[in-house]
Structure 1
Amino acid sequence: MRNIKLTIEYDGTNYHGWQSQTNAVTVQDVVKRAIESLTGEDCDLVGSSRTDVGVHALGQVANFHTNSGIPGEKFAYALNNLLPEDIVIRESEDVSPDFHARFSSKGKKYRYLIYNSRKPSALLRNRAALVHLPLDIEAMQKALPYFLGRHDFSAFRASGSDTKTSERTITGISISENSNALPGPCSKDSKLIELEVSGDGFLYNMVRIIAGTLIYVGNGKIKYDDIPAIIESRDRRRAGQTAPAHGLYLVEVYF
């Protein structure tokens, strides 16, 4: 039996996250049905990351086993003909039998988009978090080095997480303004801010809480040099709010 790896891009607006659920439409369910329709086989589709409601992906990775004779690289073309426009298989390939999209993963990269403007954007309403108050990007950037390395990130974990340990390693983090990516003409006070975070793993809502904390740094509610004390406290109440889901993108999974 062959093992097929898929790299998937999707707009999460219309889905109840990635993970299959009984009474909701999820990305995993839609892709699974397309595979079963194509191959005529039952499919056990495994994903790398359980993205939440409204979260997007540029590089979600999944795998499934099949006896189909369709060439590995052709699955992408065939499945895209069966999938809705907001889900696209970017790549497909044969991989070794022991490859597992979740357990073979060594890390992930996420991106969080912030639309900093006094007025909302009709085109970005489901793609970036709107922040009305002006943000000091330099202050936000000064906070970044404190997140790097291995820490107990309990202060950046949402309630309900059942992980055995709260220690994670952040290997890269950056913030930049990318106003050239804004759709159409925008007012001078509008900015599109990109936060990128990579690491060996992330706690439930960890990236969104980091984003919310950095927004607080940007608007002066938290000082940038308070970050070490917040991490050390392991107290969720010390960090910022959980930023909205629709600003988050799973960019890449590392193997």
Structure 2
Amino acid sequence: MTSENAANGTARRIALVVAYDGTDYAGFQSQVGTPTIQDELEKAIARLTGTPSRVRGASRTDAGAHACGQVVDFTTESELAESVFVRALNYYLPEAIRVTSASDAPPEFHSRYDAAHREYRYSILNREVASPLLRRTHHLETAPLELANIQRAATSLLGIRDFRRIAAPYPADRSTVRKVLRWEANRHPSIPDVITIDCAANGFLRHQIRRANAVLVEIGKGKLPIHAMAETLVGRLPNQHRIRTLPAKGLCLKSVHYPDYHHLFDPKVADKHETH
């Protein structure tokens, strides 16, 4: 707690960067009767500070999805130093969840609404034999994928686009237009059998990334033409209702960006989740 807050006895806002293996969790957001990342964080904070705190997250990652740069915030009257929050919360948290940094944030900071954009990575192991070491974090595709075709098709996703036709059902009165800054596919530099698909946008709809990448995978297999990605966005792809949703385990939230609060976060924390 800052000296001013300590003197006044007022609450402070703490921002955490969190990494987790989401395999055994029903997503980030709290749910009744099932383990979630938010619940585990709130339990650890309560055990450390002695009082309950409500955690807000920058992204509501899906069940089974991972993060190496999730940002959360909460208020507390605890006077513990930032470094103590990191060490002590990690003591109380399960091994699948780790706090990588803690910072005092301004009272008005909101991890979700102040985010300018979020970056995700989807990891695909493209070979015939699965990897015991990557099975929790990489989706296996045994058919050969033509990377160049995936890269060309992914350009159709850039810019300001309406993703209603490719995401999970969304209320008709709410906008499904998002600004995509990046959607790139590459081979991992040290694991040639791994293809990574990185995307960044001012926001993502539920299942948007996993369904768009499913179309890209079919293009990479040669089962769909390169222009199929653009046709999917406008609802002109034949049998579009049959588009699958890739498994959540390949998805990892890499980082969240805050232009007005860049001093609080180090984007390099997003490079710590195995090949993510």
Q: 2:248 aligns with which of 241, 245, 249?
A: 245
- Say whether 1:16 aligns with 2:5: no
Cα distance in 2 for partners of 1:204, 1:18 equals 13
Corresponding residue for residue 165 of structure 2: 155
Shifted more, 126-135 versus 161-170: the winner is: 161-170
Q: Write out per-residue CA displacement over residues 57-89 of structure 1, whole angstroms, 9 at most, x where no aligned residue.
A: 011110000000001233111111111111110
Q: AA paired with 2:205? A: L
SS of the residue 2:256 aligns to: strand
SS in 2 for 1:110: strand
The match for 2:273 is none
The gaps in structure 1 that reach 5 residues or longer are: 182-189
Indicate how the Cα distance of structure 1 residues 239 and 218 shifts in structure 2: closer, same or farther if over 3 A, else same: farther
CA shift, 1:160, in A, is 5.4
The alignment of Structure 1 onto Structure 2 pairs a total of residues equal to 247
User: 1:72 corresponds to which residue?
Assistant: 82
CA distance in 1: counterparts of 2:29 and 2:236, whole angstroms: 28
Residue in structure 2 matching 1:97, options 94, 107, 110 = 107
Write out per-residue CA displacement over residues 92-148 of structure 1, whole angstroms, 9 at most, x where no aligned residue.
Answer: 000000001111111100000001111111111111001111100011011121111
Q: 1:61 aligns with which of 56, 66, 71?
A: 71
Q: Do structure 1's residue 213 and structure 2's residue 223 form an aligned pair?
A: no
Match for residue 185 of structure 1?
none
Fraction of identical pairs, as percent: 34
- Structure 2 counterpart of 1:231, which letter? L
The aligned counterpart of 1:122 is: 132
**Which runs of at least 4 in structure 1 moved beyond 3 Å after TM superposition?**
160-163
- Deviations along 1:177-206, one digit per CA (max 9) or x if unpaired, are 11624xxxxxxxx71000000000001111
User: Using a 3 Å threshold, how does the CA distance of structure 1 residues 162 and 123 change in structure 2: closer, same or farther?
Assistant: farther
Q: Give the match for residue 52 of structure 2.
A: 42
Given that 2:26 and 2:64 are in contact with CA atoms closer than 8 Å, whether structure 1 keeps it comes out as yes
What is the one-letter code of the residue matched to 1:248? L
Q: Does 1:87 align with 2:60?
A: no
C-alpha contact 1:209 1:239 (8 A) present in aligned 2: no
Contact 1:55 1:249 in 2 (8 A): yes
**Residue 16 (structure 1) shift:** 1.1
Contact 1:13 1:56 in 2 (8 A): yes
Distance in 2 (CA, whole Å) between partners of 1:151 and 1:95 is 33
* Inter-partner Cα distance in structure 2 for 1:17 and 1:225: 33
The one-letter code matched in structure 1 to 2:254 is V
Aligned counterparts, 1:225-240, within 5 A: 225-233=227-235, 237=240, 240=243
1:226 is displaced (CA, Å) by: 2.5
1:135 equivalent in structure 2: 145
Considering only aligned residues, what root-mean-square deviation do their CA atoms show, in Å?
Answer: 1.8
Q: Distance in 1 between matches of 2:47 and 2:236?
A: 47
Aligned to 1:187: none
What residue in structure 2 maps to residue 223 of structure 1? 225
1:66/1:234 CA distance change after superposition, 3 Å? farther
Structure 2: unaligned runs, 5 residues or longer: 1-10, 259-276
Alignment check: 8 A CA contact 1:155 1:238 kept:
no
Counterpart amino acid of residue 178 in structure 1: H
Work out whether 1:145 is the aligned partner of 2:193. no
How has the CA–CA distance of structure 1 residues 211 and 23 changed in structure 2, closer, same or farther, with 3 Å as cutoff? same
> 1 CA distance for matches of 2:194 and 2:173?
33
Q: Is the 8 A contact 1:170 1:198 kept in 2?
A: yes
CA, structure 1 residues 244+216, in 2 after alignment: closer, same or farther (shift >3 Å)? same
Q: CA separation of 1:92/1:226 partners in 2, compared to 1, >3 Å: closer, same or farther?
A: same
Look up the SS of the partner of 1:139 in the other structure.
Answer: helix
Distance in 2 of aligned mates of 1:162 and 1:96: 35
